[in-house]
Amino acid sequence: MPPKSKLGQNFLIDPQAAGRIAAAFGDLSGRTVVEIGPGRGAITGALASRAQHVLAVELDRELASSLRTRFAPERVTVIEQDVLDFDFAAAAAKAGERLCVAGNLPYYITSQILLKLAAGHKALDTAVLMVQREVADRVTAHPGSRDFGLLSVTMQMHGPVEPLFTLPPGAFSPPPEVHSSVFRWRFAPRFAELGVEEEGFLRFARQAFAQKRKTLVNNLRAAGIAAEAAAAAMEKARIDPRARAESLPLKALAQLWRALSERQSGERSEPPV
């Protein structure tokens, strides 16, 4: 079966990498792992030999049917489905535990998958994922670095994201044009600890990071927050009035959200933005 580039099919051929991905979860005995895009099964075997069960979600009909002949159904359930439609909460309820998630992600929907995992965090324990190196740099970035942005904030608010290792194009067939990196994401949401409400804070983050070149005040102003209100909240949160959102740690962004929230709760009962 020739690879379908429109489905992001770059198959892993580095024999050690699959083992490193599975090992990055630590002890998988008794656990259920969802594998996103198992393809020809390069990572599936390494997961199945360590976990109790693998739910392998593959969109390509031919690959799904070939995986069914390769793996015993007691170890690997192959689900022919678009992962964007996969119900992680229902799978976790059926497994009776929060799920582990693995995958060498199809690059054309990487961000959508990451946002789906963030939104479904209650059903999830740990994810070990391979993505384009540039995306891994963004999701693991620290505040103040060139790569720190909305995706970093959204993911890191759902738990720590650690870079693990990088593979060259030659580790795949056919080789992609870019390097790929693996990271680990432990789902441990920080909303309660930082005193913010999830939906409102993430909406605020989208507005704070709307335009990279603009200062935070200007982005908030574009979102309909009066410059005076934004300036007062920034002073209260001890943030430089010329700051850009990219320079602020999660804690400072949360302080600002709370300051805006408190200020606006006097004016209306709605969340701040």
């044009």: which residue's tokens?
A: 177
For residue 213, how far is the Cα from the chain centroid? 24
Question: Is there a contact between 87 and 122 (Cβ–Cβ < 8 Å)?
Answer: no
Where does residue 271 rank: exposed (0-12), middle (13-18), buried (19+ CB within 10 A)? middle
Tokens 């995306």 belong to 135
Does residue 125 bind ligand SAM (CB under 6 A)?
no
Start-to-end CA distance of the chain, whole Å, equals: 50
What is the SS3 assignment for 141-182? Answer: CCCCCCCCCHHHHHHHCCCCEEEEEEECHHHEECCCCCCEEE
- Rounded Cα distance, 196 and 182, in Å: 30
Determine the interface stretch with ligand SAM among 82-90, 146-154, 228-236, 238-246 (rule: CB under 6 A). Answer: 82-90
Q: Does 7 bind ligand SAM (CB under 6 A)?
A: yes
- Per residue, the 3-state secondary structure of 75-137, as one string, reads CEEEEECCHHHCCHHHHHHHHCCCEEEEEECCHHHHHHHHHHHHHCHHHEEEEEEEEEHHHHH
CB closest to ligand SAM, residue no:
37
Options 37-45, 117-125, 162-170, 236-244: segment touching ligand SAM (CB under 6 A): 37-45
126 counts as binding ligand SAM under rule CB under 6 A = no
Q: How many helices (H) and strands (E) does the chain have?
A: 11, 9
The footprint of ligand SAM on this chain (CB under 6 A) covers a number of residues equal to: 23
Which one of 22, 24, 42, 48 is in contact with ligand SAM (CB under 6 A)? 42
Answer for the pair 268, 253: CB distance below 8 angstroms, yes or no.
no
CB of 62 to ligand SAM, least distance (A): 9
171 binds ligand SAM (CB under 6 A): no
Q: Choose, by CB under 6 A, the member of 37, 45, 120, 159 that binds ligand SAM.
A: 37
Question: Quick one: 7 or 164, whose CB is closer to ligand SAM?
Answer: 7
**Given 51, 54, 59, 117, the residue binding ligand SAM (CB under 6 A):** 59
Candidates 23, 62, 82, 142; binder of ligand SAM (CB under 6 A) is: 82
Near ligand SAM by CB under 6 A: residue from 10, 110, 154, 156: 10
When asked if residue 55 is in the footprint of ligand SAM (CB under 6 A), the reply is no
Min separation Cβ 90 and ligand SAM, Å: 17
- Quick one: which of 217, 220, 252, 219 has its CA closest to 237? 252
Q: Which of 28, 60, 92, 257 binds ligand SAM (CB under 6 A)?
A: 60
Q: Does 11 bind ligand SAM (CB under 6 A)?
A: yes
Report if residue 159 touches ligand SAM, rule: CB under 6 A: no
Binding site for ligand SAM (CB under 6 A): 7-12, 37-40, 42-43, 57-60, 63, 82-84, 104, 106, 109
